[in-house]
Amino acid sequence: MNLNSLKLGIIGLGYVGLPLAVEFGKIRKTIGYDLNKERIKELKSCIDRTLEITKKEIKNSKKLIFTNNINDLNSVNCFIVAVPTPVKKNKKPDLTNLINASKLVGKILKIGDIVIYESTVYPGCTEDECVPILEKFSKLKYNKDFFCGYSPERINPGDKKHKITNVKKITSGSTNFISNVIDKLYNQIVTVGTYRAPSIKVAEAAKVIENTQRDLNIALINELSILFEKIGIETEEVLKAAGSKWNFLNFRPGLVGGHCIGVDPYYLTYKAESLNYKPRIILAGRKINDQMGLYVVKKFLKALKKNSIQIKGSRILIMGLSFKENCADLRNSGVAKVINQLEKNECKLDLYDPWVDKDEVKKLYKKLPIKKLKYNAYDGIIIVVAHKQFKSMGIRKMYKLCKKKSVIYDLKYVFPAEQTNLRL
């Protein structure tokens, strides 16, 4: 097995798999596989509904083939698995996609093949959970007949500056030789180079703590924002003052969602608990961030009352449904709890987001987002996501959407504090 002999198959063409397939498809024959027939049909027409990859980029990937036919993967000898790894309602890891992908690969695995996993998991998952499935379905022996690697995804949805080619990639392999092959493979597309971890388990742990660290930092600032409100001072002003020191970390309060920050800490705590260790700080941070949606609604309803606006039947505009700015990804968005809680209080909601897919919104919230904003219509607006379109609207237009008595709650500091009623 050498670098030139590798024939790639990318399993899963979502936010992680598609950018990977497009980059590799520029330089070597690559097969992009996804179960979703509609997704494959769109990609063959150079349409990416996630808005991460442009038509031009797909067209320029001349050696990339899209398919949902498993037989098209028979010629592949290096599989890269990039499927979602969410959590269940009980916050335990949901490995369904990963297990199914491993079964699929196992059925067509051949002697000498390499399987690289990119999905975020807890340390030990690749070799404890995935490898036995590969062995069972292939009837082959790990590290004798086939080999594995782990190179965690570092995709940042919506970020056009930090892309797969200019973010250092962690690589690892199940043997020293295979680790070297995998590292050289990724170096073909990552211009800033790679970091070669000493083992698959180290690479898995490195990935899962990246987002755990961010989650904890945001949780700290969220807790401070609650405290500062009670003290009667503006959180942003405190952060500006503290930020005048060179080593102060620049985090802001807000709803924490998405497929990574709101999920990865639960993978780490699951592993810890399986070893009879009860993590305290990690779970405390998760608890704070999970409850921020309820805090936001409580604060918002209090402001409506203060302005003599009847809560029941009030018309509220939710601006932003994706988990972060300038991104179409609705997965695990922090706005879900806000919407649910407002509906429990019998508010009438309009949902608006120029980035997201309307059918996905309908599936999640049982209602379609509005296409056009309505003037003089709202008792309150909650700006949940700092989309560039919202910033360019300006605060005057925001107020034109409102009734005479209204509340604008700016969760993401889109506008200066004095221009809105509420901030986190």
What residues act catalytically?
260
CA–CA–CA angle 114, 115, 121 (5° rounding): 150
* Rounded Cα gap, residues 176 and 91, in angstroms: 35
How far lies 320's CA from each of 44, 126, 291, 303, 423, in Å?
A: 30, 36, 19, 20, 16
The token duo for 345 is: 């209080």
Helices 292-306, 200-231: axis angle to 10 degrees equals 20
Within 10 A of 124 (CB to CB), how many other CB atoms are there?
15
* Rounded Cα gap, residues 336 and 317, in angstroms: 14
* Rounded Cα gap, residues 143 and 112, in angstroms: 9
Burial of 312 (0-12, 13-18, 19+ CB in 10 A): exposed
SS3 332: coil
CB 252 within 8 A of CB 220: no
